[in-house]
Structure 1
């Protein structure tokens, strides 16, 4: 008989007293506390489906996080193909990548995950350059508008 003084009270009522072997007892305890793989899969799938790139951080890190969730699902014997992962990553990209998504959909070839990362990083850099250029243009236009407004105000004052 297993010594009751070594068994926490919380476990004593769960297992029948007829178990005299420690290995059998531990096996019985283990069956009571088996991880529920279905709930873990559900949690990981929810995490994957709710991952949306919000233009914060690196696009490479975003796709790698998605890939990490998929690899955790695979360890639970829940298979998600690389093709599906590529499509999910594209779907969850922000609207800034709209032209990029259309470009991918018009191609006959499918990209691997590494190709997707490479192309996304290039597109991210292009978008950053466009944003910087448009910011410079906006700044120049703003100054010229202010100068024009000041000239109009001066002319109006002079006419009075």
Structure 2
């Protein structure tokens, strides 16, 4: 414990106090500079590090509870919209799970898998049915690989369907035979001759 200087303090004690005082002020400046502004605004001004730590700690507890509430709301409202990748969607859920764990809120992987499955659109019904039918618990990585595979399969089916649609002729064009000596038609459907 540092004692106050007196008239009877030795030169060594005075030099030590000057060095300690300088180091303490530098430490306080570093501490104040490292605390987020929204946590430190409105705090009572103090030059005692222990009091500043305590005040910031109390403020952080309130901020932490608010942040956890926001994380839970974000997780609860997540729905996959088929715009981005399904892997990224599930990884965002895992990211929220990790952030929540840093606030002492544990979300088991089983919960993340169930929530992710419930957040997927109707196109992923086959995966949901498979999950409900099997007697094994999927890990998050299992879910990601199965969903990515299903997404790729859906893309392939969609492109094949589009290809079939664009390459097929309507029924009336398939059964219509042109006479051999009929004039050629221009783009507007009028004869050239």
TM over 0.5: yes
Superposition CA RMSD, Å = 2.5
Residue 34 (structure 1) aligned with residue 60 (structure 2) = yes
Label 1:110 to 1:42 Cα distance change in 2 as closer, same or farther (>3 A): same
2:116 alignment partner, SS class: helix
TM-score (norm 1): 0.73
Residue 123 (structure 1) aligned with residue 150 (structure 2) = yes
1:52 match? 79
1:86 shift after superposition: 0.3
Structure 2 CA distance for aligned equivalents of residues 74 and 120 of structure 1: 25
TM-score (norm 2): 0.62
Is there any run of 5+ residues in structure 1 with no aligned partner, and where? 1-9, 152-160
1:107 shift after superposition: 0.7
Map 1:20-99 onto structure 2 (within 5 A): 22-27=48-53, 29-30=55-56, 33-36=59-62, 37-99=64-126
The structure with higher relative contact order (CA 8 Å, sep 6+) is 1
1:44 shift after superposition: 0.2
Say if 2:80 and 2:121, in contact at 8 Å, map to a contact too: yes
The structure with more radius of gyration = 2
Label 1:31 to 1:78 Cα distance change in 2 as closer, same or farther (>3 A): closer
1:32 shift after superposition: 6.1
1:75 shift after superposition: 0.5
Q: Which has the higher helix share?
A: 1
2:137 alignment partner, SS class: coil
Say if 1:41 and 1:73, in contact at 8 Å, map to a contact too: yes
